[in-house]
């Protein structure tokens, strides 16, 4: 029997690189005006794939307000993915014990979360009557089912085996979630850094099943109190702590704004994904990210 050959995808167009001299020559030839005649697809679209992005808004109704709901949801998905990218980079740097190098991606992650939060403004106009015009068409579709948001929670340390279950019929998505679930989170890598720097971290926090959230540790809290006792500019651990706090504040702001948006558009109705809606969101918000960083502030 002949082996089945895997179908090759067509090669994507590439952006042709240009150096400073080539750009200067082009500007001189154009008399300072933009290039208007291009031999191929615009390099901008080749790079950004804008035409593809703008083809993904496929609404279910003729209600014009649904476009806002759909596109803001897609924007948030992109921000989830971008924030996950930065958190993974920071986690890698921490695993290499390079705290200083981890600060830049963490700072970018905080800024991306700020942009994510700003996206909620695009839905502040929506009332229950507005939402009800297309809500039934969503069926059981719910933001609860965002795999990329769940990736972000797992990366930050909010682990839950059960929350990966909705994706088990999407093999690649599920495998990626399980991989993140079982791996040390950003917070686990932070704790490992503290241990390597000589702080008294319980061994059980460093060698455990990372699929489950660890209980807050008094020893880790004490380590952060000690870290913050040194206000010097070379104390990279203190800078790390402050950057992590900024991420948590922005992440918590998103969760709070999510709750406000649900209350504004649904009140106390049950959610489309089978949850209790606003009541379920309130309970989920009680799960704290980086708890020892907050506990340390009481002890300082």
> Which positions make up the binding site for substrate?
135, 272
CA 125 from chain centre, in angstroms, equals 25
Per the annotation, binding residues are: 135, 258, 272
Residues of the binding site for heme: 258
What is the secondary structure of the chain as a DSSP string? Answer: -PPPPPPPPPPPP-PPP--HHHHHHHHHHTTTSPP---SSS-HHHHHH-HHHHTT----SSS-THHHHHHHHHHHHHHHHHHHHHHHHHHHHHHHTT-HHHHHHHHHHHHHHHHHHHHGGGGGTT--HHHHHTTGGGGTT--GGG-HHHHHHHHHHT---GGGGGGGTTSHHHHHHHHHHHHS--HHHHHHHHHHHTT----HHHHSS-TTSPPPP-HHHHHHHHHHHT---TT-HHHHHHHHHHHHHHHHHHHHHHHHHHHHHHHTTPPPTTSS-THHHHHHHHTSPSSHHHHHHHHH-
């Amino acid at each position: 029997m002949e082996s089945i050959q895997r179908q090759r995808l067509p090669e994507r167009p590439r952006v042709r690189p240009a150096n400073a001299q080539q750009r200067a020559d082009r500007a001189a030839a154009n008399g300072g005006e933009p290039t208007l005649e291009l031999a191929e697809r615009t390099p901008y679209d080749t790079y950004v794939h804008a035409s593809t992005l703008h083809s993904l808004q496929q609404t279910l109704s003729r209600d014009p307000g649904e476009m806002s709901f759909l596109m803001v949801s897609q924007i948030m998905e992109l921000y989830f993915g971008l924030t996950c990218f930065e958190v993974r980079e920071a986690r890698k740097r921490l695993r290499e014990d390079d705290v200083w190098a981890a600060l830049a991606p963490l700072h970018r992650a905080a800024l991306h979360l700020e942009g994510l939060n700003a996206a909620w403004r695009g839905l502040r106009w929506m009332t229950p009557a507005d939402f009800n015009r297309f809500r039934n068409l969503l069926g059981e579709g719910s933001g609860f089912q965002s795999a990329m948001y769940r990736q972000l929670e797992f990366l930050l340390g909010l682990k839950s085996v059960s929350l990966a279950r909705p994706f088990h019929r999407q093999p690649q998505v599920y495998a990626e979630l399980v991989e993140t679930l079982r791996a040390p989170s950003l917070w686990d890598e932070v704790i490992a850094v503290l241990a390597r720097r000589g702080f008294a971290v319980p061994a059980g926090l460093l060698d455990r099943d990372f699929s489950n959230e660890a209980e807050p540790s008094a020893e880790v809290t004490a380590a952060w109190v000690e870290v913050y006792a040194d206000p010097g500019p070379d104390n990279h651990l203190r800078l790390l702590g402050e950057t992590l706090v900024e991420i948590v504040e922005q992440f918590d702001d998103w969760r709070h704004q999510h709750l406000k948006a649900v209350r504004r558009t649904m009140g106390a109705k049950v959610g489309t994904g089978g949850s209790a809606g606003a009541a379920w969101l309130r309970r989920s918000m009680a799960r704290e990210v980086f708890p020892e960083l907050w506990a340390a502030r009481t002890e300082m």
